[in-house]
Amino acid sequence: MQLWSRASTRQLGRAALRTVAWRSPARVGYVPLPRTYMNTRPVSRHDTLPYDDLDASGSFVNINEDDSIPIRILKVSPTEIKLANGDVVPPTCIFLQGQTFVWTPPPVDPMTAMPSGKGWEAWTEDVWSIFDMTMPKPEILVFGTGNTVLPVPHKIRSLLHSMGIQLDVQNTRHACSTFNLLTEEGRNVAAALLPLT
């Protein structure tokens, strides 16, 4: 279906510019546009509309966006963790909601740690209390267990699961990479890291 043709525009001249034409196999018709539409000036790309929400720089503001700047880990060593913003933090820490917390968990011997809970006896609910007090809770907790992946006992997994937090256990280097990837995706993620030995 053709809305208008050059022939009809030539025949009608300027009158065709002020009308909307349609063409069907049976007829050709013209409907005049309302006078208010013809007299309004076109909106330019520089005009601001009343519903535009612009900040001081002239760009749009996303009201659903989280204001916190995500943490990005650059380098992990046995003595420190370097962040992208230039901060250096101790190797035992928690990254949660754009903030860094120094963490002092009980030591775990990699040779004796078992999924049954052996080697994890000192790890009580108090070690994870920061996640119980936080709102909103992270979807995922990436737990870096040092140089090797240690089997986390069921009592720790069930405690975090009761808070609505999924636990992902990796060695500390891989945990940092996973944390960086998930924060770049915009996920609500936290990291609890044990030092490399």
Per-residue model confidence as pLDDT tens for the chain (197 residues):
445 455 544 555 554 444 444 454 555 555 555 555 555 555 555 555 555 555 555 556 666 665 667 889 999 999 999 999 889 999 999 999 888 999 899 988 888 888 877 888 888 889 999 998 988 999 999 999 989 999 899 999 999 999 999 999 999 999 999 999 999 988 999 999 999 88
* 23 located within any domain: no
* 151 located within any domain: yes
* 120 located within any domain: yes
Q: How many CB atoms lie within 10 A of CB 195?
A: 18
How confident is the model at residue 197, as a pLDDT? 81
**What is the average pLDDT score of the chain?**
78
* 60 located within any domain: no
How confident is the model at residue 139, as a pLDDT? 94
How confident is the model at residue 56, as a pLDDT? 52
Say if residues 84 and 180 touch (Cβ distance below 8 Å): no
* 9 located within any domain: no
Looking at the structure of the chain, the number of domains it has is 1
How confident is the model at residue 25, as a pLDDT? 52
How confident is the model at residue 16, as a pLDDT? 46
Q: What does the block give as tokens for 193?
A: 């890291």
* 176 located within any domain: yes
Distance CA 169, CA 21 (A): 68
Question: Nearest 5 degrees, angle CA 91-CA 181-CA 71?
Answer: 50
pLDDT in tens, 58-88: 556 666 665 667 889 999 999 999 999 889 9
How confident is the model at residue 1, as a pLDDT? 46
Q: How many CB atoms lie within 10 A of CB 190?
A: 24
Residue 102 belongs to domain spanning: 91-193
* 73 located within any domain: no
Q: Which residues pair with 190 in a beta bridge?
A: 141
How confident is the model at residue 98, as a pLDDT? 87
Distance CA 47, CA 67 (A): 28
* 44 located within any domain: no
**CATH code (residue 123):** 3.40.1230.10
